[in-house]
Amino acid sequence: MSHLIEIRDLYKIYAQSAEPVHALDGVSVSIDKGEFVAIMGASGSGKSTMLNILGCLDTPTSGTYLLDGVEVAGRSRKELAHIRNGKLGFVFQNFNLLPRTTAIENVELPDLYMGRLTRRARRRRALELLKRVGLGGRGTHTPAQLSGGQQQRVAIARALMNKPPVLFADEPTGNLDTKSSIEIMELFTELSKEGITIVMVTHEDDIAAYATRHLLMKDGHLVSDDGRTAAP
Amino acid sequence: MSIAMIFKVAVLAIFRNKTRSLLTCLGIIFGIAAVIAVLAIGKGASAMMVAEISQMGNNLVMVFPERRPAGAVHQGLGGGQNMTAEDVLAIKNELSHLIAYASPQVNAASQLMYQNKNWSTRVQGVSTEFPDIKNWTLRDGRFFSEQEERRAARVCVIGTSVANNLFGDEDAVGKTMRINNMAFKVVGLLNSKGANNWGDDQDDTVMAPYTTVSRVLQGSSFKSINMMNLSLHDMNDLDEAKREISALLRQRHKLADYQDDDFETRDTTEIMNTIGSVTGLMTVLLTVVAAISLLVGGIGIMNIMLVSVTERIKEIGLRMAIGATPFMILAQFLLEAIVLATVGGLLGVALGVGVARLIGAIKHWPIVIEVSSALFSFGFSAFVGVFFGFYPAYRASKLNPIDCLRYE
């Protein structure tokens, strides 16, 4: 039985400066369907690099990455875009909603690039998702008319648009107050229970507490994994 | 994602930044508008010149007796005495397949008198076909008849300038005036043609049967005429007509092969050609100006698109993160540039037409707006969009999603 995400001996080396930086120094880990994983670590530990590579936004220098049993490393930019579009959802610290664009249109965006649904079906799904994240009546609001917590909910609805098996979140509560943070994490917990795999980067312990598995990174190494024993 | 979707995304992006989009278009708008307006005015001016030339006569060919040195005196054009009204009749009869109308012309500088008023002008002795050749129409009365022409009746038709100077507010038709002290009956009043290209007042004229002028005013026993005016059926036959006229006249004048022509033909195509070359030069100059203005407009678009790519780098990163391929990003920004340029082109054409009409109305200039130049400007602006939009779009498509999302 293969894992949903499986990386082996992943290296990411930045060679711009005189001394090459090993952002990832031989990381191996596998994540199964339905897990809610928090990647933790100090800044510069390589956790963001790890998330970017897992999210197919960045490519590793060496190593293998199987996503849903398919090799991802070495794919073209176009193929990676298709993978991101169909299999991955993203939630960012600063929400990254299109400005001056309504919540509905923001949520619809991933399907515009996929083009699977009819206009009407796309709109219906976007409205459903907005209702799902608790923004049923806010579909026509633009980001400027929404609070930070509401904007992040729109971003989550957008990430779910194409029904991806995996959701990646990079410090999803980093720009939110405590109350909004708790609401977002409760939403993540619900989604996780529905079977969506969530991989989240955070440096806050109380946020990480919502996850069911915790990976701790330091200097490009995976130093602790409470789900399994980490590779040395 | 279909092209239609990308187009929609591009249009949405344009509308999200209305002010900047409009400012981006301005270069193209004014460039195209200037080209359209100047072309409309230029074409209008040349159309007016052509109209004035053709007012000189319908498919006009003029034949003059050769200026032939008579002793030491060099005579002017039409000064020869070897051309007769019979030559005109012969040409009309034998070359009727080429010549629609023919009229001899005999000129006589004359003194006109009505009651106590005097006026000196040129009396043109012509045939009844003359108005058809020179596009003269009558405001009042009639032209003289063939019968009056045959019997050399003392009748005449006058231009508006003569009528104003001699008759004032009086109705001239039916009155009798004196030409060189001989009584002529005014049978018709011509419609005004105004000044010709050289500033001569064409309405300062009197027309009488050539028979009358030759016999009564010139008092000449010769039957020579000053020139003949011929009107061709079709200006495309001009070369053939000139050849046949020449052959016929040489035969009638009994010229041997070694002798030069004793006549000379002139036609309006020479003048038209000059106008054509002036217009051609103007068109070339305008095209250069148009190209430069559109180049400037295009650089404006490129500049704004580059700024736009930098400014929207997070948007690009986000679009890539949620699944936009590099091609889709390229297509989006390229389409944005093309839409901006073509919309600018359309607005420019509209503005140019408006400005041309306005200037035409104020200055009373004729305006000719050619659909072809509007279409060309529009097409060219689209090309400018593609050309200057490609580089910024290409740069956007080459960006790394991570770098875009991290960009501060």
CA nearest B368: which of B39, B2, B27? Answer: B39
Contact B325 A114 (CB under 8 A): no
Per residue in A174-189, pLDDT (tens digit) is: 999 999 999 999 999 9
Position A179 in a domain: yes
A60 touches chain B (CB under 8 A): no
Number of domains within chain A: 1
Q: Record the tokens describing residue B406, joined without a space.
A: 């991290």
Q: What is the mean pLDDT of residues B66-94?
A: 71
Q: Record the tokens describing residue B33, joined without a space.
A: 């508008």
pLDDT (0 to 100) of residue A230: 42
Position A40 in a domain: yes
**Residue B260 DSSP code:** P
pTM of the model: 0.70
Contact A100 B315 (CB under 8 A): no
Contact B40, B356 (CB under 8 A): yes
Give residue B24's pLDDT band: very low, low, confident or very high (50, 70, 90): confident
> Residue B185, Cβ neighbours under 10 Å: how many?
15
Per residue in B353-395, pLDDT (tens digit) is: 999 999 989 988 888 888 888 888 888 888 888 999 999 999 9
B11 touches chain A (CB under 8 A): no
CA distance A4 to A62: 20
Name chain B contacts of A52, Cβ cutoff 8 Å: 402
DSSP string, B188-243: EEEPP--B-TT--BTTS-EEEEHHHIIIIIS--SS-B-SEEEEEES-GGGHHHHHH
Q: Quick one: residue B254, left, alpha or beta (phi over 0 = left, psi -120 to 50 = alpha)? A: left
Position A1 in a domain: no
Closest-approach residue (CA) in chain A for B318: A96
CA distance B289 to B9: 35
B96 touches chain A (CB under 8 A): no
pLDDT (0 to 100) of residue A167: 96
Give residue B73's pLDDT band: very low, low, confident or very high (50, 70, 90): low
Position A52 in a domain: yes
Q: Where are chain B's structural domains?
A: 3-53+273-406, 59-267
**Range of the structural domain that residue A54 is part of:** 33-59+74-225
Per residue in A87-139, pLDDT (tens digit) is: 999 999 999 998 888 999 999 999 988 888 898 999 999 999 999 999 999 99
A137 touches chain B (CB under 8 A): no
Per residue in B220-254, pLDDT (tens digit) is: 656 788 899 999 888 788 889 989 999 999 988 88
Name chain B contacts of A113, Cβ cutoff 8 Å: 1, 319, 322-325, 328
Interface residue of B3, B322, B406 to substitute, partner A, most A CBs within 10 Å: B322
Q: What is the mean pLDDT of residues B163-176?
A: 90
Contact A115 B1 (CB under 8 A): yes
CA distance B133 to B331: 63
Contact A77 B402 (CB under 8 A): no
Highest mean pLDDT among A166-170, B9-13, B31-35, B231-235: A166-170
Per residue in B289-330, pLDDT (tens digit) is: 877 888 888 888 888 889 888 988 999 999 999 999 999 999
DSSP string, A126-177: HHHHHHHTT-GGGTT--GGGS-HHHHHHHHHHHHHTT--SEEEEESTTTTS-
Hey, which residues does A224 pair with through a beta bridge? Answer: A216
Q: Record the tokens describing residue B90, joined without a space.
A: 């012969």
Return the CATH number at A150. 3.40.50.300
